[in-house]
A and B are shown apart, each in its own frame.
Chain A
Amino acid sequence: QITLKESGLTVVKPTQTLTLTCTVSGFSLSASGEGVGWFRQPPGKALEWLAFIYWDDDKQYSPSLQNRLTITKDTSKNQVVLTMASMDPADTATYFCAHRRGVHLCFDYWGQGALVTVSS
């Protein structure tokens, strides 16, 4: 059974860097074809994709945020880490990680989400 769980600080100050960890189980981050994405949903707004990492360490970023985002993985720890620099109150949102469904660029298993509030 595939599971994902987000963890990290839930309150950050403006200008700080957010670090979120997605701990996965039920699949290997190094297995061919696997991939994990990060998403967010600000209160009352739509879902937004942020970043994606493949099994072979190839990475993709949202063009509007790519200068602030870094995605990495630690296969030995079954973890995918997202950092977002220069946090702003507009970045307040629930952040999700999710497992890619096979070769499709859609996502079948999701973490429960982590509500991140940016406030001084």
Chain B
Amino acid sequence: DIRVTQSPSSVSASVGDSVTIACRASREIGQWLAWYQKKPGKAPNLLIYAASTLQSGVPVRFSGSGSGTDFTLTINNVQPEDFATYYCQQAHSFPVTFGQGTRLEIK
């Protein structure tokens, strides 16, 4: 199985800040990585796929980068609605695996 590790586990930010979340895969996965936003009581929301492609309807303040084993999600100009938990998911092969999540909290 491909293990996926996120860091940090939580991050604090103020509205208007920029935040970066890292994701590392246990072996090379090319650009087969996705990012999701998860709020309590809601379904996951796909933000980024293929490491850097913005899903339709997602604000441009979200961006993704990386390839191989190391990836990042950046949120520029954090907005109040962005406070949530973020997950990366390797999309290279089964079994599909997720990182443990990064909680974005209000500073």
Q: A residues engaging B (CB < 8 A)?
A: 37, 39, 41, 46-49, 52, 60-63, 96, 98, 101, 104-108, 110-113
Contact between B50 and A105, CB atoms less than 8 A apart: no
Contact A49 to B46, CB < 8 A, known contacts A104-B34, A106-B89:
no
- B49 touches which of A47, A106, A111 (Cβ 8 Å): A106
- B87 touches which of A46, A101, A105 (Cβ 8 Å): A46
Q: How far is the CA of A17 from the CA of B55 in the complex (A)?
A: 36
Neighbouring B residues of A104 by C-beta, 8 Å? 32, 34, 49-50, 91
Q: How far is the CA of A95 from the CA of B82 in the complex (A)?
A: 23
Contact between B93 and A105, CB atoms less than 8 A apart: yes
Query: Can you list 11 A-B contacts (CB < 8 A)?
Result: A46-B98, A47-B87, A98-B43, A98-B44, A101-B46, A101-B49, A104-B34, A104-B50, A104-B91, A108-B49, A110-B43
Residue-wise interface mask of B (85-96) relative to A, using a CB-CB cutoff of 8 A (1 in contact, 0 not):
001010111111
Chain A residue with minimal CB distance to B96? A49
Count of residues in B whose CB is under 8 Å from the partner chain: 26
Excluding A49-B96, A106-B91, A108-B55, 18 further A-B contacts by CB distance (< 8 Å) are: A37-B96, A39-B44, A41-B38, A46-B99, A47-B38, A49-B98, A52-B94, A52-B96, A60-B94, A61-B95, A96-B43, A105-B32, A105-B91, A106-B34, A107-B44, A108-B46, A110-B43, A110-B44
Neighbouring A residues of B45 by C-beta, 8 Å? 110
